[in-house]
Structure 1
Amino acid sequence: MPDSEQFYINGSWVAPHGTAKFDVVNPATEDVCAVISLGEQEDVDHAVRSARDAFESWAQTDAKQRIELLENLAAIFERRQDEMARTISMEMGAPIDLAKGPQVAIALRHIKTFVDVLRNYAFEHPLTPDRERDHIIREPIGVSALITPWNWPMNQIAQKVGAALAAGCTCILKPSEVAPLSAMLLAEFIDEAAFPDGVFNLVNGNGPGVGAALSKHPDIRMISLTGSGRAGQAITETAAPTFKRVVLELGGKGANIVFADSDYRQAVAKGTKQCFNNSGQTCNAPTRMLVERSCFDEAVKIAAQTARETDIDAPDKSGAHIGPLALRPQYDKVQAMIQSGLDEGARLVAGGAGRPEGITRGYYVRPTVFANVTPDMRIFREEIFGPVLAMTPFDTEEHAIALANNCDFGLTNYIQTGDPDKARRLARKLQSGMVIVNDAARAPTSPFGGVKHSGNGREGGIWGLEEFLEIKSISGW
């Protein structure tokens, strides 16, 4: 990897304009593992000029050329995926098997999926078969700013960078300053893949600095952010005067509705593990488990036992354990949320505050389960982003729907039932961008995104590509 204090602009690694630095901390050891530069307005201006100058020619490339370059990128990524996994594990604490598996494999799949989408996508077509003189053209929107988080760093970067490049947009990536090293490694892959200079640029920085500068820049036509609701609000407000498109993928508080007519014992154990996956740092995790009252008590026992059996260990060790949270402020937030559950009267059945027994260093959290959680409690309503499960009983379908929708978020909800008609009824009524029934696997081309405070727009497949396109209607073609 190049000097971690440099930025990638116009096809070269360049020195920053300013002197501000930021320590990247290994969350398992609390030791500094790298130092990056925090960009300034001049760095953003340099990157935007580079992307703007490259846009006209890149936007005119045909799909075949973009496919070849994306295939080059995928091949390099695949060859160097172990290097990418080690980097992710070090910077944000994902256990190495998780990093080598979903963290890297899903990101690589996103790039390959955009290649497949591009092969078959019609950028031009008649309005309808009988109105050929009315013509529709989809064109790249322009210079795009991509702002990504630390929890699934390469997954979100691949979703945005892959879509932007496939659409014919040029882009500036600002990864999370907490986990920037994987993004810098991807920049190295893109350089090796021989994309034209200026098509992809990377500037490290924080939200108030680089994030705000990108949001207000008049030459940027689109912002795609994955992050917190606070960041989404700030980006939207800052971008408003320049009327750029703002696409937001924000938080979640997924309800996992478990009916007694499902294989509920297995569903509860699996749902608890899903909540704890990636140490709970997943926006579409099923963090609220709503269980039919007739099997609630047994479900609580199963979830508690699953939590107690969840191993915790260092990220560099192989195994199915969970690792630390990615950063100290997140650790402090999760501890405060656990305490709020205790203070507000939820019944603690596993885990609790503090580090796991025997661990004195690193941002590790005890896998925690609360029962008898009510809708007025913070742990029911607010995103925790840690290995904390809130369990609530329900009596009827209508009660389950009301509980699930009694939340500002609307990213992913889950249904566990042996009745397909019931599943379809609930899926239509749940207020979320995605619904998963009986743990069905999502197709790689499925749209990803939410409603309400979970954001707007969609990533993945055709929907992700079209976020980076403008529609032009021509009459008299």
Structure 2
Amino acid sequence: MREYVKFYIGGQWTDPAGAGTFEVVNPATEEVCGKVALGSAADVDRAVAAARRAFPDWSTTTGEERVEVLQNILDVYQKRAGDLAAALTEEMGAPAALAGGFQVGLGAGHLSTAIAVLKDFVFEERRGATLVVKEPIGVCGLITPWNWPMNQIAVKVFPALATGCTTVLKPSEKSPFTGQVFAEILDAAGVPAGVFNLVQGDGPGVGVPLAGHADVDMISFTGSTRAGIDIARNAAPTVKRVTQELGGKSPNIVLDDEAFAENVAKGVTAMMGNSGQTCSAPSRMLVPAARMDEAIAVARQTASGITVGDPQGDFVMGPVVSGAQFEKIQALIQKGIDEGATLVTGGTGRPDGLEKGYYVKPTVFARVTNDMTVAREEIFGPVVTILGYDSVDNAVEIANDTEYGLAGHVAGADLEKARAVARRIRAGWVAINDAFDFGCPFGGYKKSGNGREWGEFGFHEYLETKGILGYMPEAASSG
């Protein structure tokens, strides 16, 4: 039983202002596996004050000094990788192979990328007699979700520290263990006091006062579109910068070629990863209408081969994160059935043999139309919807017919055709044939948010641009 009842503020583990706690439930067993303290506005005030005190010194460190600190973090991170993986499996049900592999690996990858970017990042540039300077924006409030805890912490904390900002992190109360271990890592790495602060809690208790705090210069939030709208409203009176990575309903256009069957199978497999709890997942598979029957056969076979069970065991899929999430997914699956989508495999209820835990059947719907609920709402579970298209133009039209624009996917043997389709998808991140790149900008169009994370592009979100006119004498600048 984990018990985390102190916050990391000003370089010290401190008692919270109140006595409230939150019980964390292991989604594989439905049993309480730990508790964390619930923060309040008073705790936010203390953390922000610590970050504000640390900002003058940290913001004036050199890039070389910050590289050294980040490298120290990486060294400790690698030593604690097993602890992070165990926390992920316990708090959100990520299978051990996924937790210890891609989940923890994402954090290390983003940290290594931040170090590499920082070594060559240009913070000052002369343009004639003017000096253009990139300066750290200040104190940053970072609010992260439960589905990819380490990834989302990494893409916010590391660019913020690299650019000279100080931070207050609020992880999701549903997956708080990872954030706690992460704070221990930064403490052991010697991050100066106040540069990084951790306050656990829920949205009303910590998220709201953090977003509205007058001494917070920026909020970076990842979560649902609904919550993102609330964050923006709370931040508006202080006119702080707000960046958001929100919901998605990402299209996956499978082109009509010799790789069709293989790409349908890959799309189904990708959707089932992390139990479907990925905002950029290829949830809307678009296939040529003439090949719908073939797509159904491949999708059924692929989804039926996805094993589901105890995340400590050798299974592809574990549970979804909570009872509330389980019930939401069940309701949307039933909605798909009620609205007339063809249920290819899966459906409501737990997989056979699993009587306890928030396990969802790998589910495939076919012959879906884009006006159906399962094609429009983010299910955030292991559910693939297959829609037919008559032409590539029609596929692009369907792909863009959504209020979201976080990600898109194109799969095809002809790279030139895939490139042409990718250019037409209205989304901030489009993957051709499952490509992956730590340096690629990640973020959304439309109701999927604003701003970009990952690599160099994430750095710019934490910087202000200052122009100093007359910095160089005119004669010198023209010589």
**TM-score, normalization by structure 1:** 0.97
Match of 2:464 among 448, 458, 470: 470
Q: Corresponding residue for 2:368? A: 373
Question: 1:254 deviation in Å?
Answer: 1.0
**Among 322, 341, 344, which residue is 1:346 paired with?**
341
1:15 and 1:322 mapped to 2: Cα distance?
A: 37
Match of 1:444 among 431, 438, 463: 438
- CA shift for structure 1 position 419: 2.8
Cα contact 1:40–1:210 (8 A) shared by 2: yes
| Per-residue deviation, residues 283-316 of structure 1 (Å, max 9, x unmatched) | 1100111001222211111101111111001111
Q: Distance in 2 between matches of 1:293 and 1:113?
A: 42
Partner of 1:416: 411
Task: Describe how 1:74-473 pairs up with structure 2 within 5 A.
Answer: 74-127=74-127, 131=128, 133-317=129-313, 319-439=314-434, 441-473=435-467
Deviations 1:246-272 (A, max 9, x none): 000011111111122150111011110
- 1:13 corresponds to which residue? 13
Q: Give 1:125 deviation, angstroms.
A: 1.1
Q: CA deviation at 1:2?
A: 9.1
Aligned residues: 471
CA shift for structure 1 position 330? 0.6
Give the aligned residue type for 1:475: L
Residue correspondence of structure 1 range 56-67 to structure 2 within 5 A: 56-67=56-67
> Once superposed, what is the RMSD of the aligned Cα atoms?
1.1
User: What is the CA-CA distance between 1:424 and the residue it aligns to?
Assistant: 2.5
Look up the equivalent residue of 1:105 and give its one-letter code.
G
Q: Name the aligned partner's letter for residue 307 of structure 1.
A: A
1:33 aligns to what? 33
Taking the aligned partners of 1:266 and 1:223, their CA distance within structure 2 comes to 41
Q: Aligned AA for 1:36? A: V
Give the whole-Å Cα distance in 1 for the aligned partners of 2:3 and 2:300.
46
Percent identical pairs in the alignment equals: 49
For the residue of structure 2 that corresponds to 1:105, the secondary structure is helix
Query: Offset at 1:167?
Result: 0.7
User: Could you tell me how far apart the structure 1 residues matched to 2:156 and 2:276 are?
Assistant: 23
1:61 is matched by which residue type in structure 2?
T
Gaps of 5+ in 2: 472-479
**C-alpha displacement at 1:3, in angstroms?**
5.1
TM-score in terms of structure 2 length: 0.97
Find the residue that maps to 1:413 and give its secondary structure.
Answer: strand
The DSSP-based 3-state class of the residue aligned with 1:197 is coil
Q: Distance in 2 between matches of 1:250 and 1:456?
A: 9
Match of 1:300, as an amino acid?
A: I
Contact 2:263 2:412 in 1 (8 A): no
1:262 and 1:105 map into 2 onto residues whose CA distance is 33
For residues 3 and 56 of structure 1, the distance between their equivalents in structure 2, rounded to whole angstroms, comes to 34
Look up the match of 2:475: none
- 1:417 deviation in Å? 2.1
The answer to whether 1:50 aligns with 2:50 is: yes
How much does 1:101 deviate? 0.7
Distance (Å, rounded) in 2 between the aligned partners of 1:263 and 1:387:
23
Does the 8 Å CA contact 2:17/2:39 hold for their aligned counterparts?
A: yes
Any conservation in 2 of the 1:355–1:365 contact (CA below 8 Å)? Answer: yes
- Whole-angstrom distance in 2 between the partners of 1:391 and 1:443: 27
Partner Cα separation in structure 2 for residue 83 and residue 37 of structure 1: 20
